[in-house]
Amino acid sequence: MEHDPFRWGRPSDQAYGEYNNSIAHAGQQQSFPKMNTQQPIVTGTSVIAIKFKDGIVIAADNLGSYGSLARFTDVERLFPVGDHAVVGISGDISDLQYVSRLLEDLEIENNYDYDGHSLRAPHIHEYLQKVFYHRRSKMDPLWNSTIVGGLDDSGKPFLKYVDLLGVQYSAPTLATGFGAYLALPILRKVVFEEKDVEKIDEETARNAIKECMKVLFYRDARSLDKYSLITITKKNGVVFEKGLKSEEQSWRFAKDIKGYGTQKV
């Protein structure tokens, strides 16, 4: 017989062991040392982008991976900001959502002014770089690699990278994650250096990006053949194409791949 009325109706210690009171107080307890993000959880893979003479093309697939599991297949990872800029985000999806909210707030605040000073790609990149570097300095990084694309102050194509460490660089072709190994060499065949940008038209740039998205789907096991693509030009502004599919796939090469899977080496 349990004589303490306070314990009536609770799981018996005999059967379950003594109740762990920290469970009831979870949330109020701060463990020390504090732990921040150590690794991304749900992730998005590569973002790839290229400049052409009138603007930029950028693409990212719609997959949110949970480890090797293709968990979410409808994640949008391209975020237009203002009239002539876009941010493409790879890496942790929850941090991506946080960054997208920052960008949304930024645009709203800027629109309050309504003084003809639009937020352009270089401003957005500078801001994001400050956010990322601030967070890595707090030892609590936003686990992303991003590409900011659009037009700069003089209407010229603009592409710049920034990642979770605050590292930043600019190039006529850019890719995050696996794309840096698989897509960049292909894109560099089209545009090798800054002066080549003038020779490339929108059609060529688009085709190069589409080809790269297909190659990435072939070779990157955390990718999807459904992707979004944004083209930014002075003439048409931001053109957003969602739910594109990598067409004309050929998997004939797959049977020759040895070393894993069902075949014996």
Binding footprint of another protein on the chain (CB under 8 A): 113, 115-117, 119, 122-123, 126-127, 130, 153
Q: Considering only CA atoms, which of 79, 86, 96 is closest in space to residue 43?
A: 96
Min separation Cβ 153 and another protein, Å: 7
The dihedrals phi and psi of 77, each to the nearest 5 degrees, come to -115, 5
Burial of 172 (0-12, 13-18, 19+ CB in 10 A): buried
Q: What is the DSSP string of 179-193?
A: HHHHTHHHHHHH--S
Cβ distance to another protein smaller for residue 18 or 113 = 113
CB of 128 to another protein, least distance (A): 10
Q: Which lies closer to another protein via its Cβ, residue 128 or residue 184?
A: 128
The residues pairing with 87 across neighbouring beta strands, listed in sequence order, are: 79, 148
Least spacing, CB of residue 117 vs another protein, in Å? 5
User: Which one of 37, 43, 173, 262 is the catalytic residue?
Assistant: 37
Supply φ then ψ for residue 182, to 5 degrees. Answer: -95, -35
Query: How many residues in total does the chain contain?
Result: 265
CB nearer to another protein: give 158 or 178.
Answer: 158
Smallest separation, CB 158 to another protein (Å)? 12
DSSP 8-state code for residue 115: S
107 is written with which tokens? 């645009």
Which residue lies nearer to another protein by CB, 5 or 116?
116
37 is catalytic: yes
**Distance from C-alpha of 109 to C-alpha of 103, rounded to nearest angstrom:** 10
Give the residue with the Cβ less far from another protein, 117 or 255: 117
Taking the complex as a whole, how short is the minimal distance between the CB of residue 116 and another protein, in angstroms?
5
- The whole-angstrom separation of Cα 39 and Cα 25 is 26
Do 156 and 54 meet the contact criterion of CB atoms below 8 Å apart? no
Dist CA 55 CA 51 (whole Å): 6
CB of 147 closer than 8 Å to CB of 160 = yes
Q: Which residues are catalytic?
A: 37
